[in-house]
C-alpha cells in the first residue's frame, strides 16, 4: 500500500500578495478551480493500492486544511500539526512513525502541497515504476527531465548509462542551484534532473536512514509524537519536544548521505510555482503572451501576468511584467525580479504590518470576517458564519460590539439571555459581557459588526468555551 503524505507547511512568500502567512499558496486556487492542496490530494485518485492521506501542516492552517480535504471527500488518515516549522525531514519522520503504527510495511509517497503536475497519469505511471524499488528498501526520488538550463532548481545526477530514461537509476549526487553555464552543461549531458522534492520509500527504510544520519531528528520526533495529543481531528505534536529537532530537509538529512537512493525520471508538466513568473509559465496566454486573471484591461502589453481580485486593473506599454492586485495591496515587478518579492515580505514583517500575515478577509473554522473600515476607536467588519457553525463563547475587555444581520438567521447569546435575529434586526454587546454568535440555519449568515472602544486588537478576547478546541 502507498500512503500519500502531503507536506503543507510552507508560507509561499514569493507569491505575495495573494499568498500570506495565514493563507499560503497551497490553500489557494492558483492554476485551476481546486486549490493546490486539493490537486495534490487527488493526484493519485486513479492509482491502485493507495491508502488514506496523511497531511502535515502548520497549526494555524489546520481548519483550512481539514475543510479543503473534506470538500473533495478525501480519505484522511491523520492531519499532523507542527507547532513550529522544522523543514521536511522532521515532518516526514513523524508521518513515517504514525504510518508504521497503523500500516506496517506501507510505502510513503512524500508530496509537497504546492506543486503543479499537469499530467496526473504520467505521474501515477512514474510512481508505479518506482514502487518495486521502494518495496525492496530503496529510497526513490523523482527527477524532473529538464526542459531548459534552469538555474533556479537543484539538480540530481543519476547513472543513466545509455538506458531508456523510463527506468530506475542509481543516484550519483545531489548538486546545488548552478550558474547558467553549468546548467547548460547539465542539460546537454542527459544524466542530470531537476530535484522535485517528491519521494517514495518504506516508512521503515526512511526512519532507518534518518536514525543513521540524523539521530537528533528521530529522537526529537519520537518524543514529540510520544507526547502528542489528539485534538478533534488533529494530532497535535508536543511543542517543546518538536522544537528541539534540528531543522533539515529530506535531501540534506538523508538522500545526500544514503547509498540506497535511486531516481525515476518524471515528465508530467511539473512546476513548483516558486514565483509569479512560474504562474505565467503554466497558464494559457493570449496572442500577446499575456495571462489575465480577473477584471483586466490592457493596451500594448506583452508577455506579462496581470491578476486582479477586487477591482479593475489597467496597464499600458509594459513588457515582461507582473501585476497582482488584492483588496489591500498591489505588487508590480519585472519578471526577472520576482524572486525578490520575499524581500518585500521581510520588510512588511519587520514593520509588523498585517499585509504580510493575512488578507482583509480572514478565515476561521466557523466562517470568515473582513475588515471594511477602521479608525481610532471604531472598526467595521463583515462577518460570515457557515450553516450550523458558532463562534466561541467569549468576552472583550476593551470593546463593545453592535451586530446587524444582513442575511440569514442569527442565534445570539449575551450572558444568560438568548435572542434570534433575522434580516435587518440588530443587537448590542456591552464591554465585558460573555456572548456567542451562532448560525442555526441552512444558509450562510452575513452580518455587519461595528466595534467601538479604547482598544480593538484581535487579541482582546477571552474564550471560555469553543467547539473547535482553540485556546
Nearest to 178 by CA among 189, 168, 166, 186: 186
Beta strands 169-175 and 462-465: pairing type? Answer: unpaired
| Strand locations in 165-254 (E) | 169-175, 192-202, 229-231, 234-236
410, three cell numbers: 442569527
Nearest to 112 by CA among 207, 195, 206, 234: 195
Last residue of a domain, one of 271, 296, 317: 271
The reported pLDDT for the residue numbered 32 is 87
The reported pLDDT for the residue numbered 470 is 77
Calpha distance 186→225 (Å, rounded)? 41
The reported pLDDT for the residue numbered 164 is 54
Within this chain, do residues 287 and 250 fall inside the same structural domain, yes or no?
A: no
Q: In sequence order, which residues have a C-beta less than 8 Å from that of residue 215 and are 6 or more positions away?
A: none
Q: What's the mean per-residue pLDDT of the chain?
A: 94
Last residue of a domain, one of 251, 271, 291: 271
Calpha distance 471→36 (Å, rounded)? 29
Within this chain, do residues 210 and 248 fall inside the same structural domain, yes or no?
A: yes
Domain span including residue 430 = 361-465
The reported pLDDT for the residue numbered 46 is 74
Torsional class of 453: left (φ above 0), alpha (ψ -120 to 50), beta (otherwise) = left
| Strand locations in 377-455 (E) | 378-385, 393-395, 399-407, 410-414, 417-421, 426-429, 435-438, 445-453
Percent of the chain scoring above 70 in pLDDT? 99
Report CA 122 to chain centroid distance, whole Å: 24
Nearest to 77 by CA among 62, 92, 61, 99: 99
The reported pLDDT for the residue numbered 162 is 57
- The answer, yes or no, to whether the previous bond of 338 is cis (omega within 30 of 0) is no
**Residue 354: inside a domain, yes or no?**
no
Give the other-Cβ count within 10 Å of 135's Cβ.
Answer: 14
106, three cell numbers: 506501507
Within this chain, do residues 110 and 221 fall inside the same structural domain, yes or no?
A: yes
State the pTM of this model.
Answer: 0.88
Within this chain, do residues 33 and 138 fall inside the same structural domain, yes or no?
A: yes
Within this chain, do residues 125 and 233 fall inside the same structural domain, yes or no?
A: yes
Please report, for the domain that includes residue 105, its CATH number.
Answer: 3.90.550.10
Nearest to 145 by CA among 172, 176, 167: 167
The reported pLDDT for the residue numbered 225 is 97
The reported pLDDT for the residue numbered 161 is 66
Nearest to 399 by CA among 360, 437, 428: 428
Write the DSSP symbol of residue 145. Answer: P
Please report, for the domain that includes residue 399, its CATH number.
Answer: 2.60.120.10
Mark the ranges of the chain whose per-residue pLDDT is less than 50.
Answer: none
- Burial of 300 by CB count in 10 Å (0-12 exposed, 13-18 middle, 19+ buried)? exposed
Within this chain, do residues 34 and 121 fall inside the same structural domain, yes or no?
A: yes
**Residue 103: inside a domain, yes or no?**
yes
Contact 25, 15 (CB under 8 A): yes
Calpha distance 18→125 (Å, rounded)? 33
Report CA 433 to chain centroid distance, whole Å: 37
The reported pLDDT for the residue numbered 151 is 86
Last residue of a domain, one of 245, 271, 297: 271
The count of domains in the chain is 3
Angle 256-261-263 from CA coordinates, rounded to 5°: 110
Calpha distance 351→156 (Å, rounded)? 39
Within this chain, do residues 219 and 368 fall inside the same structural domain, yes or no?
A: no
Calpha distance 67→337 (Å, rounded)? 35
Within this chain, do residues 333 and 406 fall inside the same structural domain, yes or no?
A: no
Contact 439, 385 (CB under 8 A): yes
Write the DSSP symbol of residue 144. Answer: E
Within this chain, do residues 281 and 267 fall inside the same structural domain, yes or no?
A: no
Within this chain, do residues 223 and 315 fall inside the same structural domain, yes or no?
A: no
- For the CA atoms of 161, 162, 167, 168, the dihedral, rounded to the nearest 10 degrees, stands at 10
Within this chain, do residues 108 and 186 fall inside the same structural domain, yes or no?
A: yes
Amino acid at each position: 500500500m502507498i500512503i500519500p503524505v502531503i507536506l503543507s507547511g510552507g508560507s509561499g512568500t514569493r507569491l505575495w500578495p495573494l499568498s500570506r502567512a495565514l493563507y499560503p499558496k497551497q490553500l489557494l486556487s492558483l492554476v485551476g478551480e481546486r486549490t493546490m492542496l486539493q490537486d495534490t490530494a487527488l493526484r493519485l485518485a486513479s492509482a491502485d493500492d493507495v491508502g488514506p492521506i496523511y497531511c502535515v501542516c502548520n497549526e494555524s492552517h489546520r481548519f483550512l486544511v481539514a475543510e479543503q480535504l473534506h470538500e473533495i471527500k478525501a480519505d484522511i488518515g491523520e492531519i499532523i500539526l507542527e507547532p513550529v516549522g522544522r523543514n521536511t525531514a522532521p515532518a516526514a519522520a513523524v508521518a513515517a512513525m504514525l504510518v508504521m503504527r497503523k500500516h506496517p510495511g506501507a510505502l510513503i509517497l512524500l508530496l509537497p502541497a504546492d506543486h503543479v503536475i499537469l499530467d496526473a497519469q504520467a505521474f501515477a505511471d512514474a510512481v508505479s515504476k518506482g514502487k518495486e524499488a521502494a518495496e525492496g528498501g530503496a529510497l526513490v526520488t523523482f527527477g524532473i527531465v529538464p526542459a531548459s538550463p534552469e538555474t533556479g532548481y537543484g539538480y540530481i545526477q543519476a547513472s543513466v548509462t545509455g538506458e531508456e530514461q523510463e527506468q530506475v537509476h542509481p543516484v550519483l549526487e545531489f548538486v546545488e542551484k548552478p550558474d547558467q553555464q553549468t546548467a547548460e552543461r547539465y542539460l546537454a549531458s542527459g544524466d542530470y534532473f531537476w530535484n522535485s522534492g517528491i519521494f517514495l520509500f518504506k516508512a521503515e527504510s526512511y526512519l532507518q536512514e534518518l536514525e543513521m544520519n540524523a539521530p537528533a531528528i528521530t529522537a526529537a520526533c519520537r518524543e514529540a509524537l510520544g507526547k502528542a495529543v489528539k485534538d478533534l481531528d488533529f494530532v497535535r505534536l508536543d511543542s517543546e519536544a518538536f522544537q528541539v529537532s534540528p531543522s533539515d530537509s529530506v535531501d540534506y538529512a538523508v538522500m545526500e548521505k544514503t547509498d540506497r537512493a535511486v531516481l525515476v525520471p518524471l515528465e508530467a508538466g511539473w512546476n513548483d510555482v516558486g514565483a509569479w513568473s512560474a504562474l505565467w509559465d503554466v497558464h494559457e496566454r493570449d496572442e500577446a503572451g499575456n495571462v489575465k486573471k480577473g477584471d483586466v484591461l490592457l493596451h500594448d502589453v506583452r508577455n506579462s501576468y496581470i491578476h486582479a481580485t477586487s477591482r479593475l486593473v489597467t496597464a499600458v506599454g509594459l513588457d515582461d511584467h507582473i501585476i497582482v492586485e488584492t483588496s489591500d495591496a498591489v505588487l508590480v515587478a519585472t519578471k526577472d525580479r520576482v524572486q525578490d518579492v520575499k524581500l518585500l515580505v521581510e520588510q512588511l514583517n519587520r514593520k509588523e504590518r498585517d499585509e504580510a500575515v493575512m488578507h482583509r478577509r480572514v478565515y476561521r473554522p466557523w466562517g470568515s470576517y473582513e475588515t471594511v473600515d477602521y479608525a481610532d476607536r471604531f472598526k467595521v467588519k463583515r462577518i460570515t458564519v457557515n450553516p450550523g457553525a458558532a463562534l466561541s463563547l467569549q468576552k472583550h475587555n476593551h470593546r463593545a460590539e453592535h451586530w446587524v444581520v444582513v442575511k440569514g438567521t442569527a442565534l445570539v447569546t449575551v450572558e444568560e439571555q438568548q435572542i434570534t435575529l433575522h434580516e435587518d434586526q440588530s443587537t448590542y454587546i456591552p464591554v465585558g459581557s460573555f456572548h456567542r454568535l451562532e448560525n442555526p440555519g441552512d444558509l450562510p449568515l452575513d452580518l455587519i459588526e461595528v466595534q467601538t472602544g479604547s482598544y480593538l486588537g484581535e487579541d482582546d478576547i477571552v474564550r471560555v468555551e469553543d467547539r473547535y478546541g482553540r485556546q
